[in-house]
Copies of this chain bind each other. A is one copy, B any other.
């Protein structure tokens, strides 16, 4: 009986090994290039073999692992929080951007660029403990719904990317998020959504303080930004947190250019991926002129740098898990 069980077990393992690791990816060159890379760096007989501890993969979050339209979900959350706070204390609306945000005037907020968004986030996310902030963010993400899809935000993750994360981990990779979004916000759901624990999330950091209040130690978000993990900040965030150059990086905007450049300029086999939002039917179509996730230089230079451009409409069999 034991031998029988063992042999069934082996058969199952063999079947699993040959099963399609990326079932939501269509059988295009893109899927083939991913699998070829992974098989090459994990093959001990390959000249491009990479030991497990060096199999580091980094992923942007907004627009790469989940949606980012009509605005970064964290910005939408920040506006909801700002409205609540302003209802109690209108004096916090100390600028035109903040007033516009509290009125839901997204055009004015987005016209303020990253600085405008940071101002909203800064005011809405300050003066709370990290624990309370994450509990509130988690609640919002799993209950508030997206204006276009009607899905809870937490369900707007990309099924093909979930499969890619799992495939890489099954092959010995460690998968990190390296996002321009807030590190505390992403950690509120990254483990549940992506299987990525807090210590594998790198993001923009707010000023944080430690103090003992009524005998209870607590970590508080003070307001103000201490580190912006975007553009040239992404390789810096990687060296601060991971301390080692990745061999695989995925992004979707020019905010990820430096990360892909850093990753793919290392020696040996490297993989750079840009998710191109081409699917207005199932998600959103945008690139060069978008107010979020703008992608210009990556489209121009990516192919000659050997980066893989994912055509969402063509390469993905489904977008969201619920599709």
Contact = CB atoms under 8 A, between A and B. Distances in A.
A231 to B, nearest CB: 9
B243 A187 contact: yes
Nearest to A244: B198
Contact of A262 (B183, B205, B217): B217
Contact of A265 (B211, B217, B233, B262): B217
B209 A261 contact: no
Interface in A202-242: 205, 208-212, 216-217, 219, 226-227, 232-236, 239-242
A239 B199 CA distance: 9
A86 B258 CA distance: 35
Interface string A170-210: 00000000000001000100000000011101000100111
B226 A209 contact: no
Instruction: Specify how many copies of this chain sit in the oligomer.
Output: 2
A130 interface: yes
A262 B197 CA distance: 20
Contacts of A149: none
Q: Give the one of A211, A232, A243 with max B CB within 10 A.
A: A243
B53 A197 contact: yes
Nearest to A199: B242
A244 to B, nearest CB: 5
16 contacts: A53-B197, A198-B243, A198-B244, A199-B199, A199-B243, A201-B243, A208-B236, A208-B239, A208-B240, A209-B232, A210-B232, A210-B233, A217-B235, A219-B236, A226-B226, A226-B227
